[in-house]
A = this chain, B = another copy of it.
Amino acid sequence: MRLTNVLRKIALLGFIWAIAALVLSTSALPQEKAQDPLPSWNGGPAKQAILSFVQKVTEKSSPAYVPPEERLATFDQDGTLWVEHPLYAQAMFALDRIRALAPQHPEWKTRQPFKAVLKNDRKAMAKFTEGDWAKILGATHAGMTTEAFLKIVGDWLGQAKHPRFQRPYTELVFQPMLEVMKYLRNNGFKTYIVTGGGQEFVRVYGERVYGVPPEQVVGTSLATKYEYHNGQPVLMRLPKIFFVDDQAGKAIGINLFIGKRPQAAFGNSTGDRQMLEYTGAGDGARLMMLVLHDDGKREYAYGPAQGLPVTKIGTFTQALCDQAKKQGWVVISMKNDWNKIFAWE
Q: Could you list which residues of chain A lie within 8 angstroms of chain B, going by C-beta atoms?
A: 1, 6, 9-10, 12-13, 16-17, 19-20, 23-24, 26-27, 30, 69, 146, 190, 199-200, 203, 213-215, 217, 221, 224-226, 232-233, 235, 242, 248, 251-252, 255-260, 274, 277-278, 281
Contact = CB atoms under 8 A, between A and B. Distances in A.
B27 A258 contact: no
A270 B213 CA distance: 31
Kindly report how many copies of this chain are found in the complex they form together. 2
Contact of A16 (B23, B69, B190, B259): B23
A12 to B, nearest CB: 6
A16 B9 contact: no
Nearest to A260: B214
A255 B235 contact: yes
Nearest to A28: B9
Nearest to A30: B1
A271 to B, nearest CB: 13
Contact of A235 (B17, B233, B252): B252
A46 to B, nearest CB: 24
A274 B1 contact: no
A288 B36 CA distance: 48
Q: Pick from A6, A235, A242, A277 the residue with the most CB of B within 10 Å.
A: A235
Contacts of A30: 1
B23 A20 contact: no
A198 to B, nearest CB: 12
